[in-house]
Amino acid sequence: MSGLGGLNKSPNGVVVGLVQLQLPVVETPAQLAAQTARIVAMVGKARRNSPGMDLVVFPEYALHGLSMSTAPELMVSMDGPEVAAFRQACIEHRIWGCFSIMEVNPGGNPYNTGIIFDDTGRLALYYRKLHPWVPVEAWEPGNLGIPVIDGPKGCRLALIICHDGMFPEMARECAYKGAEIMLRTAGYTAPIRHAWKITNQANAFQNLMITASVCLCGSDGTFDSMGEGMVCDFDGTVRVEGGNRPDEIVTCELRPDLVREARQHWGVENNPYQLWHRGYVAVKGGAQDCPYTFMHDMVGGRYRLPWEAQVVHVDGASCGFAAPTRAYDGPQPAGPDGVPISAPVAAPVVRAA
């Protein structure tokens, strides 16, 4: 299925490049501008590396590094120069691109945001990380849900970010909305290596969905990110896997048409369907109920773990953050691509003749 990393591209193939980007140090606006230029240059490298590549994917924190700084001068807006540069790179190299920004939020802490531009510079997907890696990350919890879009060559495409992938509900939501390919971008460091691998595989198999995931790579003098771009097929097998070489672009041909085929024709282990049709051999159509207490309790606002009172870390104090005093505002209205209806979006960049 990998098609030798897309060298032998099939008519139904979608070639994805996962950039194991060198972990940067970004502490000043000048460094932010330099890292923006570096990412743009890597888009060009991706295109030269693989003329048939459809989508290039950069890891979480590719622009900001792992300082976790929320300094206003380092935060990015959707109508700012960094996002405009990423858009222009996709236009110039005629490639879809997935990027990571820490986005200014006038009403609270910044958002950890993922964006995808298509090869004409259109903003195709906008996602705010639902599950910040607490207590380490101070980002505002996402409030737009998980958008699923029509991606390259008509594939159904979703994006989640790092810690999101540790929650099986996230991958199930992507599949439930029709995603055939789920991207997972991350800044994870080496201690998470085992969990990274098994969750990428489990998320794929449990949902009959391809997962394509990538971390930052190398050291910034403090942290060591692990790279390890990997693509897992819908049966959970690993199709390609990178190592820990910074700036390596791990490529693979993905076959969303085979995902559709499996979802239609699999009997045993067609888990997304069988979740709502359990025991259909015994009863017509299967039992169509919700036997899961935690789902009812979440909807009813009464979710509580048996060990809730014993949980030690319930805010960011252990990582030096003051306890928050404001409550979550709730979901924000968004369009079909996940972009908040009120959000500023950079004007399209017109290619020179």
Q: What 8-state DSSP symbol labels residue 332?
A: -
Q: Is 290 a catalytic residue?
A: no
Which member of 60, 82, 140, 253 is catalytic?
60
Which member of 129, 174, 180, 215 is catalytic?
129
Residue 253: Cβ within 10 Å count = 25
How far is 136 from 223, CA to CA, in rounded Å? Answer: 14
Q: Is 217 a catalytic residue?
A: no
Task: Return the closest-CA partner of residue 84 out of 97, 73, 72.
Answer: 97
How far is 324 from 242, CA to CA, in rounded Å? Answer: 39
Task: Return the closest-CA partner of residue 72 out of 51, 103, 50.
Answer: 103
As separate numbers, helices (DSSP H) first and strands (DSSP E) second, the chain gives 8, 14
Amino acid found at 148: V
Give the DSSP letter string of 164-227. GGGSHHHHHHHHHTT-SEEEEEE--BGGGHHHHHHHHHHHHHHHT-EEEEEE-EEE-SS-EEE-
Give the DSSP letter string of 30-52. HHHHHHHHHHHHHHHHHHHH-TT
The DSSP bridge partners found for residue 19 are: 249
Residue 297 CA to chain centroid, in angstroms? 27
Pairing of strands 181-186, 210-215: parallel
- Return all residues near 71 (Cβ < 8 A) that are at least 6 apart: none
Q: What is the C-alpha end-to-end distance of the chain, expressed in Å? A: 38
Are residues 18 and 212 in contact, defined by beta-carbon separation less than 8 angstroms?
yes
Which member of 98, 162, 217, 252 is catalytic?
162
Q: Is 162 a catalytic residue?
A: yes
Residue with tokens 């190592």: 243
Give the DSSP letter string of 90-157. HHHHT-EEEEEEEE--TTSSPEEEEEEE-TTS-EEEEEE-SS--TTT--PPPP-S---EEE-GGG-EE
As annotated, the active-site residues are 60, 129, 162
